[in-house]
Structure 1
């Protein structure tokens, strides 16, 4: 194999990028402060069976903890 993406795979990458772009636009409108990379990771986790509500709860807790640590500095 040459290591090059097939046209079908290249189309899939383009579609995945487009989905992330749309999700990022929605995320921005909802003021989630999630960047494209984070959104992509969240989508991947959900596609692999992680409960979306549990993931949201973890993200919220991480943000609370991060804010608390910043206050302690």
Structure 2
């Protein structure tokens, strides 16, 4: 006798919740949606090691872009503040 689809969904959700708790303990910085996507990819046959390498590379790139973004924002604020000050003539 097969289980009901809702039981399977509940089991999958419980498994994802446990994996999410583990990822939080390991400080993976993955949200539930990203974790679910990774699990789905692995279940579809993607090599977990390759997925980890790709995920780390994307995360590193995103971090470097965020740092650059913050630098540009600070520079624009300084330029704006300099333009707002009356010139000494």
Query: Structure 1 length as normaliser, TM-score?
Result: 0.86
Gaps of 5+ in 1: 1-6
Q: Higher Cα Rg: structure 1 or 2?
A: 2
Higher relative contact order (CA 8 A, sep 6+): 1
State yes or no: 1:36 paired with 2:32: yes
Which residue among 47, 57, 60 is the counterpart of 1:61?
57
CA RMSD, Structure 1 to Structure 2 (Å): 1.1
Gaps of 5+ in 2: 70-89
> 2:14 is matched with which residue: 8, 13, 18?
18
Number of equivalenced pairs: 67
